[in-house]
């Protein structure tokens, strides 16, 4: 079994071949910090689920390509971008336990700072109105120490005419 160190995120269960070799493709995105490190915990179990070894902690360095930087991709907005309200509920995905800063594009208005749960899901009920037609938002992810861990991204929300 492979999990995030501390057990907050489950990544994979795999079986070893007759020589003891195994490989795993995580079932969810790796959660890595501002240094691009991911802390994993591994344990060997038999077919009955009994531990054959103690938990082993390892740290991987995630190498990103194509962006020229070391920051992760931007947090993802999963809620619709066409909304029926000037104060919609926004939902999205980020790294587990990270904080997403949601601004009016340009940074003049901070709409909120939702914290992602252990699955990376976050939500923000807007307490300030969007513009009546469309509003451009900017967002980025920060770790619990306040360090920015993603590039800035954005979305345009369009208010549906009723």
- Residue linked to tokens 């980025």: 140
Same domain assignment for residues 56 and 125: no
- Please, are residues 26 and 39 in contact by the beta-carbon 8 Å criterion? no
- The Cα–Cα gap between 15 and 13 comes to 7
Question: What count of residues does the chain have?
Answer: 162
Residue range 107-121: average pLDDT? 92
Same domain assignment for residues 113 and 140: yes
Q: What is the pTM of this model?
A: 0.57
Q: What is the largest CA-CA distance in the chain?
A: 65
Domain hosting residue 146, numbered range: 76-159
- pLDDT tens-place string over residues 61-108: 776 544 444 455 678 888 989 999 999 999 988 888 899 999 999 889
Q: What is the pLDDT of residue 2?
A: 64
Q: How many CA atoms lie within 13 A of 72 on its CB side?
A: 28
- The Cα–Cα gap between 74 and 90 comes to 15
% of the chain surpassing 90 pLDDT = 32
Same domain assignment for residues 61 and 81: no
Q: What is the pLDDT of residue 7?
A: 62
Q: What is the pLDDT of residue 1?
A: 58
- The Cα–Cα gap between 3 and 41 comes to 5
């Amino acid at each position: 079994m492979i999990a995030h160190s501390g057990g907050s995120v489950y990544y994979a269960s795999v079986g070893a071949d007759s020589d003891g070799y195994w490989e795993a493709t995580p079932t969810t995105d790796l959660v890595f910090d501002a240094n691009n490190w991911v802390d994993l915990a591994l344990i060997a179990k038999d077919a009955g689920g009994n531990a054959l070894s103690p938990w082993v902690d390892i740290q991987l360095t995630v190498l990103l390509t194509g962006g020229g930087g070391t920051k992760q991709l931007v947090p993802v907005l999963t809620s619709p971008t066409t909304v029926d309200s000037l104060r919609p509920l926004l939902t999205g995905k980020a790294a587990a336990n990270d904080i997403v800063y949601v601004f009016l594009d340009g940074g003049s208005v901070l709409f909120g700072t939702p914290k992602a749960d252990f699955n990376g899901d976050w939500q923000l009920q807007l307490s300030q109105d969007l513009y009546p037609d469309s509003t451009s938002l900017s967002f980025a992810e920060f770790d619990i120490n306040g360090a920015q861990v993603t590039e800035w991204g954005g979305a345009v929300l369009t208010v549906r005419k009723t």
